[in-house]
Amino acid sequence: MKSALITTTPAVQADVRVALVEDKPGVRDSWTRLINSLPGFTCACACASGEEALRVIPTTKPDVVLMDIFLPRMSGIECTTRLKLLLPKTQILMLTAVEDDELVFMALVAGADGYLLKRTKPEDLRAAMLDVLGGGAPMTSEIARRVVESFRKAKAKSQPEAHLSAREEEVLILLSKGYSNKEIASQLTIGVETVGSHLKHIYEKMHVRSRAEAVARYMTSKA
């Protein structure tokens, strides 16, 4: 039996701009209406393909992207990889109709920040988006273990050591404990923007593209 999604829902954030990438017109319209019905959320753009997403989303600069895994021509996974290069701070949640561990795992390695099932209830969708904006990573424990395992294998291939500063080490330790950016800022008595800056440097030094990857590599380095 699948475990519940791991979430750490933060305080409500208003005026969250969401981009949707979904190729099926009916589903796209339904999700657009759903997003706009959520308090404090608005659908900034709805794209029908990965190619359109790469043209439109960088100019829209949303807070969160809801990305369908299965897209024609360019897959949602490939689109996620390219979008993360253009918008590294934008949070991307994968949307999938079936909980396919292999595909979700691939998406997380590509830089996705979590995933949701398309049958997710409106209140859970809102909670998940707030969670990822607060520094969480909505995913099942099974998927989290797979991400960790992938880095254990990479470590066996003599992965170069990341030389982090003392402060970056502190941020990473709190990150591995599931703390959100706001909670890390409070713990270390620094600004939330400063935490974001430290995370950017951590990602660069560790050669990773998401919180899940950073935590997985940290955990394997201590194994």
Which H or E element spans position 95?
A: strand 91-96
Q: Which of 32-41, 130-139, 140-149, 199-208 has the highest mean pLDDT?
A: 32-41
Averaged pLDDT for residues 69-85 = 88
pLDDT tens track for 6-38:
444 444 445 899 999 999 999 999 999 999 999
**pTM score:** 0.63
Q: Mean pLDDT, to the nearest integer, of 176-193?
A: 85
Under 8 Å between Cβ of 134 and 164: no
Residue 112 CB contacts under 8 Å (≥ 6 apart), including other chains: 67, 77, 80, 92, 93, 94, 210
Q: Which of 164, 143, 174 is nearest to 208 (CA)?
A: 164
The residue with greater pLDDT, 208 or 189, is 189
Identify the architecture of domain 16-145 in CATH: 3-Layer(aba) Sandwich (3.40)
Give the pair of three-digit tokens for residue 169: 């080490």
The pLDDT of residue 21 is 97
Cα–Cα distance measured from residue 86 to residue 181, given in angstroms and rounded to the nearest whole number? 22
Residue 54: pLDDT over 90: yes
Mapping DSSP to helix (H, G, I), strand (E, B) and coil, where does residue 66 land? strand
138, 99 contact by CB (below 8 A): no
Compute the distance between CA of residue 150 and CA of residue 223 in angstroms, rounded to an integer: 13
CATH of domain 149-221: 1.10.10.10
Rounded alpha-carbon distances, angstroms, from residue 25 to 20, 50, 147, 196 = 12, 14, 33, 36
pLDDT in tens, 137-152: 777 666 666 666 666 6
Q: Does residue 216 have a pLDDT over 80?
A: no
CB 41, CB 126: distance < 8 Å = yes
pLDDT computed for residue 159 by the predictor? 55
Strand order in the sheet with 64-68: 41-47, 16-21, 64-68, 91-96, 114-117
d(CA 211, CA 110): 12
Q: What does residue 158 show for φ and ψ, rounded to 5 degrees?
A: 60, 60
Given the structure tokens 């993360």, which residue do they identify?
Answer: 84
CA distance 4 to 131: 14
Q: Residue ranges per domain, the chain?
A: 16-145, 149-221
* CA–CA distance, 196 with 135 (Å, rounded to integer): 10
Q: What is the pLDDT of residue 28?
A: 95
Tens digit of pLDDT for each residue in 106-125? 787 778 888 888 888 888 89
